[in-house]
A and B are shown apart, each in its own frame.
Chain A
Amino acid sequence: MKRPKKIVTEASQSFTFTRRALLLGGLQGGVGAVLAGRLAWLSIAENEHYALLSESNRVNLTLIPPRRGWIVDRQGKPIAINRTDFRVDLIPDRIVDKDKLLGDLQALLQLPEEEMQRIRDDLEEAQGFKPVQVAEDLDWEKYAAVSVRLNDLPGVSPMRGYSRFYPDGAAVGHLVGYVGAASAKDYEESKDPLLITPGFKVGKDGLEKVMEPTLRGTPGAKRVEVTARGKLVKELTTRSDVPGHTLKLSIDAGLQTYAARRLGTNSGSVVVIDLATGGLLAFVSMPSYDPNSFSDGIGRDEWKMLSEDDHIPLMNKAVLGLYPPGSTVKPMNALALLEAGVDPRDRVVCAGALRVGNGLFHCHKKRGHGPLDMKNAVMQSCDIYFYEMSRRLGYDRIAPVAKAMGLGQKFDLPLVSQRYGTVPDSAWKLKKYHQPWTIPDSLNASIGQGYVLANPLQMAVMASRLASGREIKPSMFFGHDKPAAPLPYSAEHFAIVRDAMYGVVNEGGTGGAARMQVPGVALAAKTGTAQVRRITMAERAGGVLSNASLPFRMRDHAHFICFAPADNPRYAASVVLEHGGHTVRNLDSPMTGRDIMTYLFDPDRAMKSLAEVEPTWGGDIATRMAAKAEAWKLAKAGATPLPTSTPTPADPGANVAAAVD
């Protein structure tokens, strides 16, 4: 389409100019209005948003890590406290000459090369105002050496902080756990800036981890005005921290430490329960790690040494160690038999073995015990009596009582994890193995072998429930006592069982070694040996090998449950020695149990007894751990094989295995 050509004259061009200039002016005015509107939008509608951003630019919040709540025992004796700690950090943005500074710090603080590398790595990643840790837990001299040279060390920030201290060291390791710097993953999840504040620690295991919310406290804050480059302009306000709550435990720190020391070179656990409250008085798993050295960050060597040790110092065996409870279940079995209507006077003749179908079931006493009633069967720990009785009744009559005594149960305790163990019955076997229950299954279960598994805590609960006749529920905190309901079994039956356990120690039973020397206090107990290997016919014919001649891992577990005083029970306990093998008398479970129970009534006598034997084991816990670490280092440097196990001291006394079970 062609339009007629427009004739443009000077006049029409001038008119066009006027029109277009007006249009242009209008456009300019419009843009001006848009700009004014935008300005109003930013400074009025979005003022709050931007004021906040401007403030967060201007003010740098430095968190002051809160002091962690203390952990104390039932008397208020400290188990975990905070020590004043001197630390040195670097503020990356204030560093002038990085290489020179790091060199100076290395010289002043005598930092090892691997630490220097870590600092360099941290500095690479860090930016701006966020401090990077150089060293913590410094002594005053080193701290002062840095502090007086601050003018020559731009970027260095010496600070006073707090570090966790556990006076009892390894004795409370598995009980309290340990603290450490939060992991990168923790920070990713919560984005809490406190987690990446130098010097701040979170609970990593045990009570420290489970009770983290109670123990942590509220961080303080220092508000400072900073420039975009991180230069501090002035301090604004400081809000001090609110320390975490103190945690008062039912634990008796003295008993806890005593039990840990008394375990000696064993790989074992001790759990002691106060029958009046259900409170745990001792909760020990040894060997352990020293939570103090974990709190400073553990070295690779130390970790390797701990993780390769066959005494598994990194596992809390008191709840995570599962063992066949062996003969310690016999008092509980006796209760179940009584409840099922068995007359305690009924006798079973022990000829040393019992034939069931094709199998021959042996008693631990090869020549047999002869005729036995219930009390003597418990006292002598006769296997044949319980084989025969459970063959008659079936284990399904016993399993409910085992559960009622705490076996296979989980308890409401502040623990990172617990293992249930197993109380087998026909329904359980059918479900798990799709096989019917057999008589041999009943026989094995009746002596705490076969499918039966329990942890030391459950064994202690079993002892406490037998001793009290009540459904004792263990608790860890002081003053949180729940009254325990009576168990639905006859008091008379409980009395028969307790009398048998008294006999075990005091009337010529298998636990004679545990007889207490405190006037007026008798111990009632049951020993137990749990086999971890199969004894072949050939071996049985040639004589069962002694535990001392077996490698550590093949040795029997040595168990002991007890309560005292026998006539008016106040405390119950379990002692579980992994692969203890009853090889050394003063390291065996009955004497260990006796001494620990003695501590509750006569600490001085108990300490004296410990003082006699401890030197023969190579000294106290700290001494032995130090010696072991030294040996490890030597072995690592030289050609000698790594000592993965703790040497068991030779015992001049007789092999007590036969006497015990």
Chain B
Amino acid sequence: MKQTGIIPAPLAALPWSMLLLVIAITGFGLVVLYSAAGGSLSPWALGQGMRFLMFLGMAVVLSRVPERMWQTIAFPVYGILVLALIGVEAIGGISGGSQRWLDLGIIRLQPSELMKPGIVLAVARFYGMLPAGQLRTINAIWPAAILIGVPAALVMLQPDLGTAMMITFGGLTVTFLAGLPLRLYVGSTLAGAAAAPIAFGMMHEYQRNRVLIFLNPESDPLGKGYHISQSKIAIGSGGLFGKGFLQGTQSRLDYLPERHTDFVFATMAEEWGMVGGLFLIFAFFLLIRWGMQVAHNARSKFARLTAAGLATTIFFYVAINLMMVMGLAPVVGIPLPLVSYGGSAVMTVMICIGILMSIDRDSRRGRRMA
């Protein structure tokens, strides 16, 4: 593309419709955070906005990284993150109690958060290297199993069931797209269903409670089922068009717990109703579809798998969070990307988008050259 007019070429080359979508989602999220704070920019909306701008800039920078570079750093990054996870575990062991982050002075880094795109890159890298002929052999399975299993197990130890699940799902999605035999997935799904009672037995008390309460939240509306009950009340009472901006009583009067983080969707739906909720769901649908489109158009096997894996990671974020707040899944502590307050999730999602943009850019350039 030639430089036309005053906009510099690198900027003009960005996928602006997708970025506008991301900005719209985040902007709406900031409005919700403003309301959740009782009509105030502090303590959430302003900080979240600043962070978003920072990570948006980072994503634009990442989009300039050549696709080949991702292949090169995939394993080293993965290695560093595994070490960091071990480090977190060690610090937690020394200080006593669970710890999920490393304090790097300027930022508190959650390695488990970065592992969400990290695992996609590593597994995609592995299948990118694997000759197609090997795909039906055991060599196509065990390295991927280790790549996924190690970080998932480490995160599980923290203990953080939600993130461990997302890492596992992210990795498995890539193996599925890489072409491992279908019966592996069907078989392991069945095995998983059979093993669920055993897994339930191995869970922590609080995790077990979450599952039990998910199965019957009304059994304990004031105790452990409180989160789900209040969240459903907030969403259900919003109705078609909601109670209006700054009018949400569930959030304003503290009935809704975690109203600015995990349950921000309920805060939003109470004030903006089903219309607001459908807007967010549709916006995320477009964003994820764009990511899958990038995967389709990617030129290399690695790029295809990475793009589809990252898009699916964003999908998992959204799907698990919405299922949780609407009472379709247990409370697992997964935020709604770009909307929930908190830097880590924004950072992860913006890294995913940055890498997706980088792959997109590469494939468009490839098409132009071809």
Q: What is A's interface to B at a CB cutoff of 8 Å?
A: 5-10, 12-14, 16-18, 20-21, 24-25, 28-29, 31-32, 34-36, 38-40, 42-44, 46-47, 49-51, 53-55, 57-58, 225-229, 233
Assess the A43–B236 pair: CB atoms within 8 A. Answer: yes
Q: Mark B241-272, 1 if CB is under 8 A from A, else 0.
A: 00000000110011100000000000001100
- Interface contact B296-A35, CB-CB below 8 Å: no
- A34 contact set on B, CB distance < 8 A: 328
Cβ of B302 to closest chain A Cβ, rounded Å: 12
Answer yes or no: B339 CB below 8 A from chain A CBs.
no
Closest to A47 in B: B239
B residues near A6, Cβ cutoff 8 Å:
136
Is B196 interfacial (CB 8 A cutoff)?
Answer: no
- The stretch among B68-76, B173-181, B351-359 that forms the contact with chain A is B173-181
Asked whether, in the complex, the Cβ of A20 is within 8 Å of the Cβ of B176, the reply is yes
CB distance from A232 to the nearest CB of B (A): 11
Q: Are A9 and B133 in contact (CB under 8 A)?
A: yes
Contact between A43 and B274, CB atoms less than 8 A apart: yes
Query: Are A58 and B249 in contact, with the CB atoms below 8 A?
Result: yes
Contacts of A226 in B (CB 8 A): 253
- Of A8, A16, A43, the most chain B CB neighbours within 10 A belong to A43
Q: Which residues on A sit within 8 Å (CB–CB) of B164?
A: none
Map CB proximity to A onto B25-50 as digits: 1 under 8 Å, 0 otherwise: 00000000000000000000000000
The reply to whether B281 and A39 contact each other, CB–CB distance below 8 Å, is yes
Separation of A506 and B240 alpha carbons in the complex (Å): 92
Tell whether, in the assembled complex, residue A54 and residue B326 are in contact, meaning their CB atoms are under 8 Å apart: no
Closest to B275 in A: A43
Task: State whether A21 touches B308 (Cβ < 8 A).
Answer: yes
With a cutoff of 8 Å between Cβ atoms, the chain B residues found around residue A39 in the complex are 235, 269, 274, 277-278, 281, 322, 326
Tell yes or no: B101 within 8 A of A by CB: no
Given contacts A6-B136, A17-B304, A28-B312, contact A51 B288 (CB under 8 A): no
Let me know if B253 and A35 touch, CB within 8 A.
no
User: Does the CB pair A36–B278 fall under 8 Å?
Assistant: yes
Which of A6, A24, A29, A55 neighbours the largest number of chain B CB atoms within 10 Å of its CB?
A24
Residue on A with the closest CB to B257? Answer: A228
Q: A9 — which chain B residues lie within 8 A by C-beta?
A: 132-133
Q: Could you say which residues of chain A place their CB within 8 Å of the CB of B233? A: 50, 53-54, 57
Main SS class of interface, A:
helix
B292 interfacial by beta-carbon distance below 8 Å = yes
Give B285 Cβ to nearest chain A Cβ, in Å. Answer: 5
Check if A24 sits within 8 Å of B292, measured CB to CB.
yes
Find A50's partner among B136, B232, B319 (CB 8 Å cutoff). Answer: B232
Closest chain B residue, CB of each to CB of A18: B296
Asked if B328 and A16 make an inter-chain contact with CB atoms under 8 angstroms apart, the answer reads no
Cβ 8 A contact of B232, one of A10, A14, A42: A42
Quick check: A14 and B308 within 8 Å, CB to CB?
no
Interface pairs (17), CB distance under 8 Å: A7-B133, A9-B133, A12-B132, A20-B176, A20-B177, A21-B292, A21-B296, A35-B323, A36-B281, A38-B328, A39-B322, A43-B235, A43-B236, A53-B237, A58-B255, A228-B253, A228-B255
B307 and chain A: residue at smallest CB distance: A21
Q: Is the CB of B315 within 8 A of A8?
A: no
The answer to whether A8 and B135 touch (CB under 8 A), given A54-B237, A54-B250, is: yes
With a cutoff of 8 Å between Cβ atoms, the chain A residues found around residue B305 in the complex are 17
CB-CB < 8 A to A21: which residues of B? 177, 292, 295-296, 304, 308
| Residues in chain A near residue B176, CB distance under 8 A | 20, 24
Q: Are A25 and B292 in contact, CB atoms less than 8 angstroms apart?
A: yes
Closest A residue, CB atoms, query B229: A53
The chain B residue with its CB closest to the CB of A229 is B254
Q: Which residues of A contact B173 (CB under 8 A)?
A: 24
Q: Is B234 in contact with chain A by the CB < 8 A criterion?
A: yes
B280 to chain A, nearest CB (A): 9
Q: Which of B230, B236, B288, B304 contacts A49 (CB 8 A)?
A: B236
B289 at the interface (CB under 8 A from A): yes
Say if the beta carbon of B273 comes within 8 Å of chain A: yes
Q: Which residues on the B side are within 8 Å of A227 (C-beta)?
A: 253-255
Q: Bound state CA distance, A17 and B127, in angstroms? A: 12
Q: Given the known inter-chain contacts A17-B305, A43-B273, A233-B253, please indicate yes or no for A54 contacting B234, CB distance below 8 A.
A: yes
The bracket for how many chain B residues form the interface is: 35 or more
Q: List residues of chain B with CB within 8 A of the CB of A44.
A: 239-240, 274
CB distance from B42 to the nearest CB of A (A): 20
Say yes or no: B301 contacts A32, CB within 8 Å. Answer: no
* Closest chain A CB from B323 CB (angstroms): 7
By beta carbon, the residue of chain B nearest A21 is: B308
With A36-B281, A53-B233, A228-B253 already in contact, the answer to whether A43 and B319 are too (CB < 8 A) is no
Most buried by A among B179, B237, B285: B237
* CB of B111 within 8 Å of the partner chain: no
List the A side residues contacting B278 at CB < 8 Å: 36, 39
Is B342 among interface residues, defined by CB-CB distance under 8 A? no
On chain B, the residues within 8 Å of A42 by CB distance are 232, 235-236, 326
Tell me, in angstroms, the Cα distance from A228 to B250 when the chains sit together: 9
Least CB distance, A141 to chain B, in whole angstroms: 38
**Minimal beta-carbon separation of A61 from chain B (angstroms):** 15
- Residues of A with C-beta under 8 A to B296: 18, 21
State in angstroms the CA–CA spacing of A44 and B274 once bound together.
Answer: 8
B335 at the interface (CB under 8 A from A): no
Within 8 A of A (CB), among B92-114: none
Complex Cα distance, B252 from A153, in Å, reads 27
Inter-subunit contact A50/B253 (CB<8 Å): no
- Asked whether B225 is an interface residue with its Cβ less than 8 Å from the other chain, the reply is no
Whether a CB of chain A sits under 8 angstroms from the CB of B238 is yes
Nearest A residue (CB) for B243: A54
Cα of A32 to Cα of B322 in the assembled complex, Å: 10
Give min CB distance, B239 to chain A, whole Å.
5
Residue among B236, B255, B304 with the highest chain A CB neighbour number at 10 A: B236
Would you call B326 and A50 a contact (CB within 8 A)? no
Q: In the complex, A226 Cα to B253 Cα: how many Å?
A: 7
Contacts of A233 in B (CB 8 A): 253
Please measure, in the bound complex, the distance between the C-alpha atom of A551 and the C-alpha atom of B231, giving whole angstroms. 76
Q: A25-B289, A25-B292, A228-B255 are in contact. Are A14 and B236 (CB under 8 A)?
A: no
Point out the residues of chain A lying under 8 angstroms from B135, CB to CB. Answer: 8, 13
If the complex has contacts A14-B301, A43-B274, A226-B253, are A5 and B136 also in contact, measured as CB distance less than 8 A? yes
Shortest Cβ gap from B172 to chain A (Å): 11
Q: How far is A175 from B308 in the complex, measured between Cα atoms in Å?
A: 87
Closest to A46 in B: B236
Chain B residues near A46 (CB, 8 Å)? 236
Which residues on the B side are within 8 Å of A12 (C-beta)?
132
- CB pair B277 A8 closer than 8 Å: no
Most A C-beta atoms less than 10 A away, residue of B277, B301, B328: B277
Q: For chain B residues 213-240, which have a beta carbon within 8 Å of chain A?
A: 230, 232-240
Top 8 closest A-B pairs, CB basis?
A50-B236, A54-B237, A228-B254, A43-B274, A16-B179, A227-B253, A42-B236, A50-B237
